[in-house]
Structure 1
Amino acid sequence: MARRSSDENQRANTGAPAVAVKPLPFEDLAEAPPCAYEKEQRGYNRAPSGMCKLGDALTDMDALIAWLRTYDDAPRTQRAYRKELDRFCGWLTIFQRKGLASVRTEDIEAYDEFLTAPHPDWCGKRYGRRSTADWHPFEGPLSERSRTYARKVIGVFFGWLVAIGYLVRDPFVVSHPYHGQKNHAVRNQAASTTSVLTLSAFRRFANVLQKHVDSIDPSDRWKKAKAERELFTLRFLANTGLCRDELPRVCLRDIRLHENRLTGAQSWTMKIGGKNITRIIAVNEAALSALQRYRRALGASEHFIGNESPLLLPVWGEQGAHRHFLTDQIVYDDVRAAVKIAQQMIAPTDPSFALLLGNVTPHSFRHTCAKILEELGVKPRMIQLQLGTELFDTTRFIESAAELTELVEAMASLQI
């Protein structure tokens, strides 16, 4: 028996076709051979006609684009997710000859193996435009961390497809915990929970960081301003549930005072505006207190009406800040810097807690907010309104004054 070449072995291991196929962004896959993308469109898992809440999502391409559009207000996240869809959908079409409705658990396992050794024709410098002839979706094999992230993104996408009624079942959810294949869905879930802090854990984290901030010599203005911003960021994110992309775009004028005409009770709300959607969320006393401390520490303005000053300020302060909006990368860097400081302070006495903090990112505070609200007995509808996670109808937010009052009361129970 003749020995196979190394290239043939590569194709056998990855499920590659005998003839190398050029990688294409998912928008071009419908025109690419073997054209199975449309043929497999109504696979075993496709929901019956009329069930999909996105009535115009008739094809996989429609569903893909609709999901990405839910991240129009988070361009960095949208680009990262698009990259994962380019890879997965290209592999699914060209190598597996399937559509989304035909994906099974074994396909997920096969894709994970493909990521460890992508087809040679799919590897190269991938920093060019997606429409260029020399575009490649991979530079080389992915690390375990990158593969975990890829599975997580694709898993979220399939969960959304089920939630809107495009698919019947989620192939990422293994029905039996002792399934013969690796249960990546369970493993990812277990990994993600390590970054969700309990109420006591978050308060401990915040208190340690505050001690660090208070210990800084006021004469070191740059260090003091940066540390105050780090403390404010984690407290404000945890008490509002904002995404890291949303926080840098908020100005003081977006925070407004409301008064209940019947009871006279006052409450605060904040407008979150994006390219396509504007929503209103509640701002509790803990979030306002964190904002007040931060602004006073930097000597910045505190009034809300007509104030275009952004909540997040550069280290030099408020002057010209409205012309230099910070980015979501600053939010990420500030949180990670805060984590490192807290780890250094905690590790000598509690190394296990310091290790737990190692997985904390800005998104951890969003999950923490939702988890604590759930434990406090807050209705899922209120949590969806606060976090802006309604998938079925993105134009349906707060519908009445009573619902706004209920949201404010729900968030008032969260004081972290």
Structure 2
Amino acid sequence: MVERPLGPAHPVALERGYTIKDFTALRAYVQRIEPAVIARTWYDPDEDPHAATPGAMERHLTRMLDTLVQLAMAHGSAVLADHLRASIRQHGQPKLTAVTFRMVTEAAQLAAVPPHPDHPIGAWLRPRVTRRLKGEGIGTLGELVAFCNRRGASWWRSIPRIGRGRARAIVSWLRRQQIALGLTVDPDVDSVEQDGRPLVAAELVEVVPDSNPSGTTSSRLTLAPLERLSVPHALSGAEGENRSAAFCYIQAKHDLDAVRAYLNRYRDQPKTLRAYTKELERFLLWAVVLRGKAMSDLRVDDCEAYKDFLKRPDPRFVGERFARHSPRWRPFASGAAGAASLSADSQRYAVRALRAAFAWWVDVRYLAGNPWTAVNDPPVIRRASAMRIERALPADLWRRLRVELDVRCADERAVQWRAVRAAILLMGDSGLRREEAASALRENLKASVYGTPGRPVWELTIVGKGQRERTVPVSAAALQALRGHWADRGRGFDETVTGQASSGPLLAPVIIPWTVPSRRRHRQGQGGGQSPFSPRVRTGSSEAGYTADGLNRLIGRMLKGLVETMDGLSLDERVLLGQANAHAFRHTFGTQSVADEVPVDVVQKVLGHASLQTTTIYVQAEKQRVVEEVARYYAGVAARQTAP
């Protein structure tokens, strides 16, 4: 049943601490439900002392009934008042039916107060919903409206057991109370979706220059990502001052066409495409909205102004992370403090990405010149280490984690643990990046010709960073974990029924969540008549593997469970394991292999580093041990010198 907000409370009820759950419980009491059942169903003894015993519960409900009857006799019709007085004279207390109870509550509501933003949500929403909302830090009606407006149409997804139906009922009630609350629920909060996308976000959005250029940031800007972006003709660049007069090699009528033509070069490099799209749409939105110029009208001073903008973006360009189709999407994601603060490295990356894009537009004769050539890169600190490997697991913790994973996977129902074990061992024993592990295919995993019957060696060929192909060894433990994971998927790891070599992603979800994006991604592999959360058995090309982000989320979620339940961990080890992500196991391989005296050039080839200098960072991981050993030696020398 949908948990709908009920009717308003009245002044006496609010003064006495009555809430909507009291009215619901009183209705059950009038219908002869036992007080013990009422206390167990609608109340929490820790928060409601009057529900501690059946007697206390009955006294509370009786007092509340008397209060409502007095209000009904004072504010209700003469006929109702006469009926109640007669019932009291005859029975000593009012005897109510379902009809007369409704009449009493309606009469009592004549003295009702409207909801207020400071009212606790427990006075207006049912207890189960109230507890779940409080879990997100929502305590009042005003905080609930602010939460909905901040999160948009998917505000309810982060709250356990608040589904679309309950969320729609809550938002519908809030909309009816907007005048009383003095607050507005944004139009897209409960928008209708089609194929997982809100219909309010289906149209192109035309962005216009800021109408409040005085420097204040109170006004809300209309912004949209590149695929939904529309620009007024005057700012489109169709007649830009920097447009080349020579024959143009691309069919671009305006700046948006030119941007899309440039990004099309990276259609086969998803990570690069995503990064360049982010930088170009940020710059284009800044130029049109805050600078009031077309991109092909910008000069050196404009580029310098954007470089300053990157140091502290306009707060209206910053927001929480939302899907790109959401009207609440913003070009910059807010940090922990609520504001975007780009690092010097990110600022330099943005400038270099824009300089390269403008250089290409000049090469294809869309632009006459590149103003970014006269702009210096933001200064950055030259770090001794380009990578942060402090999340790599120590040898002892890495060994105990492997043992614990084997224990967790022993249960036949532990399909998620077996998927996590296969992923962790593949990255931790072969040094794969999470993107490489997610895209690894069974047909590219083969027994090496350099192995022997007594000591077989397996090799996996992958395409890594920079579209460079490399072959990495796969451990026997990882192979065994992959076989268990494939068995959970209903697949034969070594061969199919037809005797042909197996194919498909090495890692793939066994349990598909019943969400629109998951159903859309795995639609071909869904079987009919199965439970929404039952394992989906897929075969051949219809099976979709994990995405890199999905694999990272799965590993992070399961590691948090280990932090809470794994025995024998010190506080420091729990912190380290809780901070580990998928990439930490690649660093674990690099650190442990170097510590075990595997030649650095071999580690370089396995990890796929273009430079040996990058791999030597793992040699530095032994620096702490070296310093500690030498310090121990110094202490011994000093002790011998002072000995008599």
| TM-score range for the pair, normalised by the shorter chain length | 0.5 to 0.7
SS in 2 for 1:335: helix
1:303 is the counterpart of 2:503: no
Q: 1:12 aligns with which of 215, 238, 254?
A: 215
1:174 is the counterpart of 2:375: no
Partners in 1 of 2:333 and 2:467 — Cα distance? Answer: 40
Which position in structure 2 is the counterpart of 1:147?
340
Aligned CA distance change for structure 1 residues 311 and 25 (closer, same or farther; 3 Å)? closer
Q: Max radius of gyration: which structure? A: 2
1:251 is the counterpart of 2:441: yes
Aligned CA distance change for structure 1 residues 240 and 10 (closer, same or farther; 3 Å)? farther
Shift of 1:228: 2.2
What amino acid does structure 2 have at the position aligned with 1:33? L
Which position in structure 1 is the counterpart of 2:507?
312
Shift of 1:368: 6.3
Which position in structure 1 is the counterpart of 2:546?
327
Shift of 1:336: 0.7
Partners in 2 of 1:371 and 1:159 — Cα distance? Answer: 32
Shift of 1:21: 8.4
In the superposition, the TM-score normalised over structure 2's length comes to: 0.39
After superposition, give the CA deviation of every residue in 1:362-415 in whole Å (9 maximum; x if it has no partner). 34555666788999643999578x37x89xxxxxxxxxxxxxxx9xxx9xx9xx
RMSD: 5.9
Show the 5 A alignment for 1:10-409: 11-13=214-216, 25=226, 33=235, 35=237, 69-70=265-266, 72-74=268-270, 78-79=273-274, 82-83=277-278, 85-92=280-287, 94-96=289-291, 107-118=306-317, 128=325, 137-138=329-330, 142-144=334-336, 147=340, 156-158=349-351, 173-174=378-379, 196-197=389-390, 201=393, 203-204=395-396, 206-216=398-408, 218=410, 220-223=411-414, 225-259=415-449, 268-272=459-463, 280-286=469-475, 289-296=477-484, 299=487, 301-303=492-494, 306-315=501-510, 319-322=537-540, 323-328=542-547, 329-344=549-564, 349-365=569-585, 377-378=600-601, 382=605, 386=608
Partners in 1 of 2:591 and 2:479 — Cα distance? Answer: 23
After superposition, give the CA deviation of every residue in 1:323-368 in whole Å (9 maximum; x if it has no partner). 3323314312221123313433679854344334444333455566
Partners in 2 of 1:382 and 1:168 — Cα distance? Answer: 36
Partners in 1 of 2:341 and 2:472 — Cα distance? Answer: 34
What amino acid does structure 2 have at the position aligned with 1:12? G
Aligned CA distance change for structure 1 residues 377 and 284 (closer, same or farther; 3 Å)? same
Which position in structure 2 is the counterpart of 1:50?
none
What amino acid does structure 2 have at the position aligned with 1:72? D
What amino acid does structure 2 have at the position aligned with 1:362? A
Shift of 1:127: 5.2
Shift of 1:149: 7.4
Flag the structure with more relative contact order, 1 or 2, with Cα contacts below 8 A and sequence separation at least 6: 1
Aligned CA distance change for structure 1 residues 269 and 216 (closer, same or farther; 3 Å)? closer
Partners in 2 of 1:373 and 1:172 — Cα distance? Answer: 37
Q: Percent identity?
A: 14
Is the 8 Å Cα contact of residues 67 and 157 (structure 1) preserved in structure 2? no
Partners in 2 of 1:257 and 1:78 — Cα distance? Answer: 35
Shift of 1:74: 3.6
Partners in 2 of 1:165 and 1:380 — Cα distance? Answer: 38
Is the 8 Å Cα contact of residues 307 and 351 (structure 2) preserved in structure 1? no
Shift of 1:93: 5.2
SS in 2 for 1:284: strand
After superposition, give the CA deviation of every residue in 1:169-189 in whole Å (9 maximum; x if it has no partner). 9966525x6xxxxxxx98xx9
Partners in 2 of 1:331 and 1:239 — Cα distance? Answer: 17
Shift of 1:70: 4.1
Which position in structure 2 is the counterpart of 1:182?
none
Aligned CA distance change for structure 1 residues 169 and 380 (closer, same or farther; 3 Å)? farther
Partners in 1 of 2:458 and 2:333 — Cα distance? Answer: 52
Partners in 2 of 1:156 and 1:346 — Cα distance? Answer: 41
After superposition, give the CA deviation of every residue in 1:22-41 in whole Å (9 maximum; x if it has no partner). 76739867966285996579
Aligned CA distance change for structure 1 residues 116 and 221 (closer, same or farther; 3 Å)? farther
Which position in structure 2 is the counterpart of 1:399?
none
Shift of 1:213: 2.2
Gaps of 5+ in 1: 1-6, 43-54, 130-134, 178-184, 391-405
After superposition, give the CA deviation of every residue in 1:276-312 in whole Å (9 maximum; x if it has no partner). x9753212243x5313333146646342772114311
Partners in 1 of 2:482 and 2:471 — Cα distance? Answer: 19
What amino acid does structure 2 have at the position aligned with 1:282? T
SS in 2 for 1:283: strand
Partners in 1 of 2:288 and 2:263 — Cα distance? Answer: 19
Aligned CA distance change for structure 1 residues 62 and 303 (closer, same or farther; 3 Å)? farther
Partners in 1 of 2:471 and 2:350 — Cα distance? Answer: 28
Partners in 1 of 2:585 and 2:339 — Cα distance? Answer: 22
Shift of 1:91: 0.9
SS in 2 for 1:117: helix
Gaps of 5+ in 2: 1-209, 360-371, 451-455, 512-534, 620-644
